[in-house]
Structure 1
Amino acid sequence: MILFSHGDLSYEVDLSRPLVEELAQSRLGEMTVPAWERTEKKRLREVIVRSLPPTSSDEPETLERMRARLREEAHLATYLQHPRIARTLGPYEVQGVLYIVSDRVEGTSINTLITYSQMREKLLSPAFCLYVGAEVAGALHSAHTCKDENGAPLGIVHRDLNPARIFLEPEGGVILTDFARARSLLPGRVASTLPRPQGDVFYCSPEALLCEETDPRSDLFSLGLVLLELATWRHLYSTATVRPDDLEEALTEKVKGKVLDAAMTAMEADLPDHAEDCILRAATFTREEVDELTQPLAHPLRAIVRRLIQRNPEDRYQSAAEVEAELRAGLAALGAPYGPKEALDEVLLSLTGASMSRDVLGPTSESQLPPNMVTEEDIINERDSTP
């Protein structure tokens, strides 16, 4: 079935393959589906197609805001031209239906690799963590420093950096995906109806969780959390060893007000139940806890991750380029080459070991469809609003 055509290309859904697990649709008719990009004679590549209908009899204003947000996402993607960033093309409007097309990334997410390493009961190497971190930092630097046609900074912040957004390709390359929730300074942006954390709260920076202003250093904090989990299976926001009452007692009156406001926002935005715990941990974790969590890491990964996950943005690295340089220097200091081939070899070994494990849960679902489609609350804020 042909969804739509644009120029010499068509986008085709393969009705012979099961779509029950892969097709997603929102209450206002937004649809996300895997498809083939093809010419008249042959299929070229697999993609992800997202679409929005032209009208909604129930909520026309909300739908129009969503359509504007989707157009903005596609416009922003035209500036994200980097080999380590998955592409998004469009928007295309056919018979009133709005479409955008994204790369369907081949490979395995870091989220799944963490699960496999746990199943195998063997951590991935410091070299692998340094390599993945450096590749992601390079992609972030490109995004953070994008400028428009007039040379004006676009101020892009990913805001949803987590292990499910990072993929290891079949040849060992690393791809960063899904800038759907990115903040930017594109002209004519649609105002948000509710300032709230964007993306997976378990990997949000403290300032994002407390509904404060975010900037590129917020993405660096999220990268630090990803590397910490990849290297240790541990997480800064875990409450397994602390009591919520003890955390609340540690709050000053000023911070307690911020936490309460953020918790109310999380409830209004219908964020997951664990969002409140993440907010409380983000407001109370100490430098000593950061030191303890990162202590098992090998040098220099320990020092890099430790600096990335400081609560105060001023205490972190100030640019993704700085992070990339440190990670690559750490990788070089190991004395043996480590790149795509070595990363792939290590992962293949990890997958083999995990497949032989018993009495463990299955691996994380490897759906490559965006788990969170555009909603009214995903509209990006005006420049002078709280992100």
Structure 2
Amino acid sequence: MSADRTTTPEGGTHLFTANGVHYSLVRELPGEGPGERVLAQRHSPGGPGGLAVIKCLPSTARVAERRRMLEEVRVARRLDHPSIARVLHVDTRAKRPLVVMEYVEGLALEQVLRRAVRRHRPVSERFAAYVIAQAADALHHAHTLRDGHGRLLHLVHRDVSPSTLRVSKHGEVKLTDFGAVFTRLSCRQRTPAHTLKGAVGYSAPEVLSLGKPEARSDLFSLGVVLVELLTHVHVLDLPDERTVPALTGGFQRLLGKLWPEKGAWADPARIGERASRLSAGDVEKVMANVSAPLRAVALRALRVEPTGRHATAADMRDELRAYLAATGQPYGPREVVHEVHEVIVTASQARGEIETSPEHIPHEFRNWRPVRH
């Protein structure tokens, strides 16, 4: 994208103009995979129009990479849900294909989680239940999406993790980045053999063994995130190397032969073995101090066999919302903003330091004030 940049009279960096909207560079964003990701300010004749994330492939992008971006766009344009980031503009025919996505101003869930770990206290059970319920609602919309002829598309996100879930400055929960999406569209770009899409550390065992992803694979990923939020334990993290069990069956054959697009902390075959051995006892032990209703949700989501999990994302959502209703106290966007603020403040106090982050933290999180009635 750097080749397309020019300096504006105001001293800013103009990237491009599309449909009368000017995009200027704010900062580059970290990311994995081919191409660049930048944060841009949108300018229309009426003034600034908010921020956007621009994903741009290099001019040397392979045909498969261009087709993959086109598939992501086709899927994302069909999605219309308040908890899913929107596509704002697409240009796949340009020398450097790009897609412009809604930027969810706030923090990635992984940023909130890191601060909670720093203060040695997890987020509240209600925060975890609310966030995961909203994510499940978004996934239900994606999983039940149909094409123009009414045919189910069988979408699977494949990259559900704390890095693709964001909490906005207004307390909204948004599922982002459908770049690893699996679909049964007739023109879909097939994943190369032995390549793993998405965040390997949150993947279901059937995905890690190269089986066909399904909607309930995303629910397994949500279960891993739920446990991590409530306990700061990653249930698929490997034990001490001295106690790592020998690989068995299919995972022994896959050792050293799986290629994660996003990287992983260990060989994916070893993570897959851990996922395939995950038992109810393992989950119960980790969640011993978590309330029974949320323990039950995690236990069901993390069943090794997909048929043992919630039948749909809506079922998982409804269980979590039933738990929230049973607490007898409202929990929504306002409470989310308050809790993120508290996590940021207490994390800084725990270290006796001023909060710093490479990611901008909105003042709504830094300076939260209760609404007076």
Q: Shorter-chain-normalised TM-score: which range?
A: 0.7 to 0.9
Kindly indicate whether residue 147 of structure 2 is the aligned counterpart of residue 140 of structure 1: no
Aligned residues: 348
**Aligned-partner residue type, residue 230 of structure 1:** L
Aligned with 1:36: secondary structure? Answer: strand
**Mean CA deviation greater in 38-47 or 131-140:** 38-47
Q: C-alpha offsets along residues 309-337 of structure 1, whole Å, 9 cap, x if unaligned?
A: 11111111110010111100010001111
Matches within 5 A, 1:303-382: 303-358=296-351, 366=359
Aligned with 2:80: secondary structure? Answer: coil
Work out the CA distance in 1 between the residues paired with 2:236 and 2:357.
Answer: 20
Matches within 5 A, 1:152-231: 152-231=151-230
Work out the CA distance in 1 between the residues paired with 2:167 and 2:122.
Answer: 16
Are residues 11 and 65 of structure 1, via their aligned partners in 2, closer, same or farther at CA, if it must alter by over 3 Å?
same
Deviation at 1:128, TM superposition (A): 0.9
Aligned equivalent of 1:266: 258
Deviation at 1:197, TM superposition (A): 2.5
Task: Structure 1 unaligned segments of length 5 or more: list them.
Answer: 57-61, 369-387
Work out the CA distance in 2 between the residues paired with 1:216 and 1:140.
Answer: 8
Are residues 269 and 66 of structure 1, via their aligned partners in 2, closer, same or farther at CA, if it must alter by over 3 Å?
closer
Kindly indicate whether residue 287 of structure 2 is the aligned counterpart of residue 294 of structure 1: yes
**Aligned-partner residue type, residue 105 of structure 1:** V
Work out the CA distance in 1 between the residues paired with 2:178 and 2:325.
Answer: 30
Deviation at 1:182, TM superposition (A): 0.6
Q: C-alpha offsets along residues 210-236 of structure 1, whole Å, 9 cap, x if unaligned?
A: 111210100000000000000010121
Kindly indicate whether residue 10 of structure 2 is the aligned counterpart of residue 5 of structure 1: no
Kindly indicate whether residue 149 of structure 2 is the aligned counterpart of residue 150 of structure 1: yes
Matches within 5 A, 1:59-138: 63-93=62-92, 96-138=95-137
Aligned with 1:179: secondary structure? Answer: coil
- Structure possessing the higher relative contact order (Cα contacts under 8 Å, 6 or more residues apart): 1
Q: TM-score, normalised by structure 1?
A: 0.82
Aligned equivalent of 2:29: 22
Q: C-alpha offsets along residues 133-171 of structure 1, whole Å, 9 cap, x if unaligned?
A: 111110010010001111111111010100111111112
Whether the aligned pair in 2 keeps the contact of 1:82 and 1:142 (CA below 8 Å) is yes
Whether the aligned pair in 1 keeps the contact of 2:33 and 2:261 (CA below 8 Å) is no
Work out the CA distance in 2 between the residues paired with 1:269 and 1:25.
Answer: 8
Work out the CA distance in 2 between the residues paired with 1:306 and 1:197.
Answer: 25
Work out the CA distance in 2 between the residues paired with 1:171 and 1:41.
Answer: 23
Q: 1:46 aligns with which of 47, 51, 56?
A: 51
Are residues 68 and 309 of structure 1, via their aligned partners in 2, closer, same or farther at CA, if it must alter by over 3 Å?
same
**Aligned-partner residue type, residue 296 of structure 1:** N
Aligned with 1:140: secondary structure? Answer: helix
Q: C-alpha offsets along residues 87-117 of structure 1, whole Å, 9 cap, x if unaligned?
A: 1234215753322101121111211111111
Whether the aligned pair in 2 keeps the contact of 1:228 and 1:235 (CA below 8 Å) is yes
Work out the CA distance in 1 between the residues paired with 2:204 and 2:77.
Answer: 27
Work out the CA distance in 1 between the residues paired with 2:33 and 2:313.
Answer: 35
Aligned equivalent of 1:379: none
Aligned with 2:346: secondary structure? Answer: helix
Aligned with 1:281: secondary structure? Answer: helix
Deviation at 1:242, TM superposition (A): 7.1
Aligned equivalent of 1:285: 278
Q: Could you tell me the percent identity over the aligned residues?
A: 31
Q: C-alpha offsets along residues 7-37 of structure 1, whole Å, 9 cap, x if unaligned?
A: 22232225xxxx4x6377977xx23222122
Whether the aligned pair in 1 keeps the contact of 2:83 and 2:173 (CA below 8 Å) is yes
Whether the aligned pair in 2 keeps the contact of 1:120 and 1:354 (CA below 8 Å) is yes
Q: TM-score, normalised by structure 2?
A: 0.85
Deviation at 1:66, TM superposition (A): 0.9
Aligned with 2:350: secondary structure? Answer: coil
Deviation at 1:5, TM superposition (A): 2.3
**Aligned-partner residue type, residue 6 of structure 1:** A
Aligned with 1:317: secondary structure? Answer: coil
Work out the CA distance in 2 between the residues paired with 1:367 and 1:5.
Answer: 25
Are residues 364 and 308 of structure 1, via their aligned partners in 2, closer, same or farther at CA, if it must alter by over 3 Å?
farther
Work out the CA distance in 2 between the residues paired with 1:159 and 1:122.
Answer: 29
Deviation at 1:353, TM superposition (A): 0.8
Q: 1:257 aligns with which of 249, 274, 283?
A: 249
Work out the CA distance in 2 between the residues paired with 1:194 and 1:100.
Answer: 26
Work out the CA distance in 2 between the residues paired with 1:23 and 1:290.
Answer: 33
**Aligned-partner residue type, residue 315 of structure 2:** E
Work out the CA distance in 2 between the residues paired with 1:214 and 1:188.
Answer: 18
Aligned equivalent of 1:36: 41
**Aligned-partner residue type, residue 35 of structure 1:** A
Whether the aligned pair in 1 keeps the contact of 2:199 and 2:262 (CA below 8 Å) is no
